[in-house]
Chains A and B, each alone.
Chain A
């Protein structure tokens, strides 16, 4: 008798639960009509950002290319007359990219960044290959104030040796002589 009560009770609970869900209304978001704003750090389309002073951040160090587990990043390094490295060409094959974000982690200059923009499907896989001009943007991305050359020990016209952040002026070692 107690068992029968248990059976009936659990049946009623089950049917009541499903009935409740009908009146709860759907939790669905209709996608093309409503686009949920994605978090700034969600990982999709890759961009190449610029310094706060508007110059390309990428120094073509190949670290992103080396970190990429699917080998979808390739580039050719070059050097401009003032001694600053840049990528002569830079290519990401989005047909292979798995959006893991390892390139972003590997980048020493915060140049390569992943953005929340994800609607880039295409029927032609060759259209998924992005060249440097498709990737290069004119803003700083997620790191608005970071400038690699403010920190690095490379002297140039604006930042002489010892003029970088957290760097002491050079010491003339000869003054230490007895």
Chain B
């Protein structure tokens, strides 16, 4: 009984730490993005709230929380209220399987530095990514707005086509690691990170994961210029904030997954393991901000062309080549 309670307490503690860290990081990623984007455009970015604008996320949060929560008259009330939670929750849940470091040994107890080491962790990650589409689709559909509807249709089509490439690009990694568990995948990169042996898979994964997280240049579901703001046109206050939070947590998820699959996860010299993971996440996110600052939005047919005619065939060929090389060796 006592043992069970200790395990439960440790699990709760881990969840609390990860949730706090992820949410805090999401808030400051917004600031980082605005600051960096400002620099890329020869501006300064937010600098009025606190020193260097460090309190900007706090004031943004207060603003979002105190704004009126508008529900359109024709909206499907319960689905409309529920959709933002799906986006934020699925993004947060993905972090349950991301390993933060090697096992800790405290007082004769082995404490894994991951909330849960699932043997099908990778499938779980993809399941969560697929579920987050429901938030977008239901949110847009329930708003009873043409722009939101168009945005969610685009979102659904885009995510279905990019999920294929995303899944296929990871297959070589699974073949090399011989496991679907994220912990084992990181273990398998003890010698060299997989980006060195699978550069093509890395490029395909990164591109389709960016499309999956709906960021510029793949932000067709929310294309401001064409659709108002797409699937979250009708949302306001903290419900919009949940979509926003979901997007930034998804950026972290993308960073964490890129780190786990290709950059060696928490592995690295000198610094402690969780810090290495953090550094890698921030690096990937910075790259995404740089891409956002540089590239314009894709046209819809270009997006589909890239997904179906380039990424998926390339991923398939990559699997075949990896298979041949492995069998040859």
Chain B residues near A15 (CB-CB < 8 A): 290, 294
**In the assembled complex, how far is the CB of residue B217 from the closest CB belonging to chain A, in whole angstroms?**
11
Residues on B facing A (Cβ under 8 Å): 36, 38-44, 47, 290, 293-295
Would you give 24 A-B contacts (Cβ < 8 Å), ordered by A?
A14-B294, A14-B295, A15-B290, A17-B294, A18-B290, A19-B290, A21-B39, A21-B40, A21-B41, A21-B42, A22-B36, A22-B39, A22-B40, A24-B42, A25-B42, A26-B42, A26-B43, A26-B44, A27-B42, A28-B42, A28-B43, A28-B44, A30-B44, A30-B47
Contacts of B43 in A (CB 8 A): 26-28
6 additional A-B residue pairs with CB within 8 Å, beyond A18-B40, A24-B42 = A14-B295, A21-B41, A22-B39, A26-B39, A26-B44, A28-B44
User: What does the 1/0 interface line of A1-41 toward B look like (CB < 8 Å)?
Assistant: 00000000000001101110110111110100000000000
Distance in angstroms between the alpha carbons of A160 and B323 in the assembled complex: 110
- A26-B39 Cα distance, complex, nearest whole Å: 6
Contacts of B36 in A (CB 8 A): 22
Taking CB atoms, residues of chain A closer than 8 Å to B294 are 14-15, 17-18
Interface residues on A, range: 10 to 19
Closest to A15 in B: B294
Nearest residue, chain A, Cβ from B296? A14
Docked complex Cα distance between A30 and B44 (Å): 9
Query: Closest 10 A-B residue pairs measured CB to CB?
Result: A26-B44, A18-B294, A28-B44, A27-B42, A14-B294, A22-B39, A18-B293, A18-B40, A15-B294, A21-B42
Which residues of the other chain, B, contact A28 by a CB distance below 8 angstroms? Answer: 42-44
Across the two chains, which residue of chain B brings its CB closest to A24?
B42
B47 to chain A, nearest CB (A): 8
Closest to B293 in A: A18
User: For residue A19, which residue of chain B has the nearest CB?
Assistant: B290
* Chain A nearest Cβ from B191, distance in angstroms: 30
Q: For the complex, give the distance between the alpha carbons of A18 and B289 in Å.
A: 11
**Closest Cβ–Cβ distance, residue A39 to chain B (whole Å):** 24
Q: Give the residues in chain A near B47, CB-CB below 8 Å.
A: 30
Query: Could you say which of A19, A24, A25, A26 has the most chain B C-beta atoms within 10 Å of its C-beta?
Result: A26
Set of chain A residues within 8 Å of B39, measured between Cβ atoms:
21-22, 26
Contacts of A27 in B (CB 8 A): 42-43
Task: Give bound CA distance, A153 to B284, whole Å.
Answer: 80
Distance (Å) between the CB of A148 and the closest chain B CB? 48
User: What is the CB-to-nearest-CB distance from A116 to chain B, in angstroms, rounded to a whole number?
Assistant: 25
* Nearest-CB residue, chain B, relative to A22: B39
List, in ascending order, chain B residues with CB within 8 A of A25's CB.
42
The distance from the CB of B32 to the nearest CB of chain A, in whole angstroms, is 13
With both beta carbons as reference points, the residue of chain A lying nearest to B42 in the complex is identified as A27
CB of B136 to closest CB in A, whole Å: 28
